[in-house]
Amino acid sequence: MEDGRSTPENLKVLYEDNHLIVINKRCGDIVQGDKTGDLPLSEVVKAFLKHKHNKPGNVYLGVVHRLDRPTSGIILFAKTSKALSRLNKLFATGGTKKTYWALVQKKDLPNTKTTLVNWLIRNPKQNKSYAYVKEVPNSKKAILDFEVVKRLDHYLLLEIDLKTGRHHQIRSQLASMGVFIKGDLKYGAARSNTNGGIHLHARQLAFEHPVKKEVMRFTAPLPQDPLWQACQ
């Protein structure tokens, strides 16, 4: 299984121009700094850009969106404040298409597309979200579609079309119906993965370029892991 966090030397860059940079995040990378004090991916990307472009001063980098620490896959950063404001608006208004792949413990799921609609409540102390079937006070509506795209011996590969962007949305919505992502102890998996990650991968991202106005589409290669490789 792939291990180790991103460094400026091993950063997986999928695309870069004057306005944005797209990274294939490793599980274990934290996107923005938090109470752990661990070096965030945003600072790793800054160091990469500073070295690559031989910049003498500080490097600007805007965090557009986030991925959970144990999750891998596509993460987008803005290289200018103008690009950041436009991309923030795009993400806030649903102007992106986000596709995830998840390996889940085998369960009798149909091959047809399934839509999940829940109301989520975030518990900051537990860093966990709880999904409800009906609206409850202080909850936020969460919507996703999923379908089974491959059946392995012990796991199913789900392709998930995320319609909203809530805290731990995929993990909590799937868990609420008894479907657990491999390695995700927090949301009901039987065992953790050896690298502390979970088998949830931000596979594809499509959006309109903030300056060029062209449609950009990216696919993040899967981690070097036997189970993921069986999904190719």
The residue-averaged pLDDT of 207-214 equals 96
- pLDDT score at 4: 74
Query: CA–CA distance from 215 to each of 13, 19, 96, 120, 211 (Å)?
Result: 19, 14, 10, 31, 11
- pLDDT score at 97: 96
Query: CA–CA distance from 153 to each of 37, 88, 105, 150 (Å)?
Result: 40, 41, 10, 10
- pLDDT exceeds cutoff 70 at 1: no
CATH class of 13-229: alpha beta
**Alpha-carbon span 84 to 23, nearest angstrom:** 16
Tokens of 121: 């409540």
- pLDDT score at 3: 57
Collapse the DSSP code of 137 into the 3-class scheme (helix H, G, I; strand E, B; otherwise coil) and give the result: coil
Tokens of 134: 């009906």
**Global pTM?**
0.94
- pLDDT score at 65: 93
Q: How would residue 76 be classed by pLDDT, with cut points 50, 70 and 90? A: very high
User: Around 11, how many Cα atoms within 13 Å sit in the side-chain half-sphere?
Assistant: 23
- pLDDT score at 2: 60
Cα 51 to chain centroid distance, Å, stands at 26
The model's pLDDT over 103-154, given as tens digits with 9 standing for 90+, comes to: 999 888 988 999 999 999 999 999 999 999 999 999 999 999 999 999 999 9
**What are the DSSP calls for 48-109, one per residue?**
HHHHHTT-SSPPP-EE-----TT-EEEEEEESSHHHHHHHHHHHHTT--EEEEEEEEE----
